[in-house]
Structure 1
Amino acid sequence: MAHHPQSSAASQPDLYRDTWVRYLGYANEVGESFRALVPKVVVWATYGVSTAYVTADAADKGQKAAEANRDGPGRRADITVAVVDTFVWQALASVAIPGFTINRLCAGSLYMMGRITRWPLPVRKWTTTAIGLAAIPVIIKPIDRSVDFLLDSSLRKFYGTQANKPDESETK
């Protein structure tokens, strides 16, 4: 799998993919896991954190593309591709698809527990939260691979490169 654009110092860790900062991309999944226990505004705030992470990563990859091609031909196109590819990939793989997946998993588990158990509502809500949190590490790689396939089959055909595709070991 292709690696994301690197800065001129290839050994330098990527702030958004190689450090604790990448965990900010998980904020909305955590928020969805706690949806049954916290006010909706808290859940929406976690989407704000994840979206800020996605936007910052895209801007960072655009900056790295600009530095890698200071005066070369196609500089503007390289920057645009880096920003768009990173933003779309991260928006789908880090925010939209996992947020929806955890939301539906939690809603379904809360509903089913209400139908098949006699557990008190607070126990069902905490169990739903635990199920959501436990599912986060399980859904990451399949979603990443699916988004890679989706973008490789669509958007990336328009700009004819996979050079900016995030390496799944370096995302989120």
Structure 2
Amino acid sequence: MGEKAAPQQVPTDPFRHPLARYLAYADEIGNAVTTYGPCGLTKYMRYFPTITHTYIIMDTLSKGKKAYNLKNNPPKEEKKDEKEDNKDDKKKKGKDDKKSKDKKKGDDKGGEQDQEDKPPEPTPPPILAALDRYGWHMLASVVIPRYTLRQVHCGLEVFADFLRLCRPVRTYFTTALALASIPLIIRPIDAISDHIMDMSYRTVFGTPKSEENKDEKKDEEK
């Protein structure tokens, strides 16, 4: 029997949900349709930038409010007693070398104490948490997507010239394919933006880093 593939994890943050991330690209879709689309759609597409701006502002305020609530109402630490199960497993083993067992118990207790002594991550001030998310959106929702889509559009223009397409067909051809590339670039751009913020803003101001980098550090420690 082949192993089943693990299901893809969906972020708990609703604003980072794969479908919600398309709201960040509404501005680019509106600009493309306004520039190259039929004249009848122009009056409706001018509202698309408002969707992106509202999405960014709502996410920024949500992260600031969440940090504010955690700052004023910190969660209680839950104590988990796992030493009893470990002791029962150790008692079942052979009792020939008591000294070696005592050393192992001491090492295990020391490791457990180190894990318990690790302090929880400090909650950043609300203003820093909000600015962290706003800076991330400037990279992941505005600057990098706009630059990437323009480069894709320029590349498609060169390809259309190679095919010697007429001007109307080439315009709709390049615009449609450039917009169709959005699902392919969302996740890489989000990951690049997380990495840039982890190496710059989050390192300087001590705000929590992305979950992917945390998982990589845990794997390296193991």
TM-score, normalised to structure 1, is 0.70
Matches within 5 A, 1:6-155: 14-18=13-17, 21-34=20-33, 36-38=35-37, 45-70=47-72, 77-113=124-160, 115-155=161-201
Q: Which amino acid aligns with 1:84?
A: L
Question: Is residue 62–residue 82 contact of structure 1 (8 Å, CA) maintained in 2?
Answer: yes
CA distance in 2, matches of 1:47, 1:96: 14
Following superposition, the deviation at residue 121 of structure 1 comes to 1.5
Following superposition, the deviation at residue 15 of structure 1 comes to 4.5
* Cα 1:100–1:71 shift into 2, 3 Å: same
How many correspondences in the alignment? 151
For the pair shown, the structure with the greater C-alpha radius of gyration is: 2
* Cα 1:59–1:136 shift into 2, 3 Å: same
Identity of aligned residues (%): 32
Match of 1:8?
Answer: none
Q: Which amino acid aligns with 1:70?
A: N
* Cα 1:14–1:156 shift into 2, 3 Å: closer
CA distance in 1, matches of 2:34, 2:154: 9
Following superposition, the deviation at residue 120 of structure 1 comes to 2.0
Following superposition, the deviation at residue 92 of structure 1 comes to 0.6
Greater mean deviation of Cα atoms: 43-52 or 33-42: 33-42
Q: Which amino acid aligns with 1:55?
A: I
* Cα 1:36–1:117 shift into 2, 3 Å: farther
Runs of 4+ in 1 over 6 A off after TM superposition: 39-44
Q: Deviations over 1:101-137 (max 9, x none)?
A: 1122113322441x32332222111111221122111
Unaligned runs of 5+ in 2: 1-11, 75-121, 213-222
Following superposition, the deviation at residue 45 of structure 1 comes to 4.9
Q: Which amino acid aligns with 1:67?
A: N
How large is the Cα RMSD of the aligned pairs? 3.0
Q: Which amino acid aligns with 1:160?
A: G
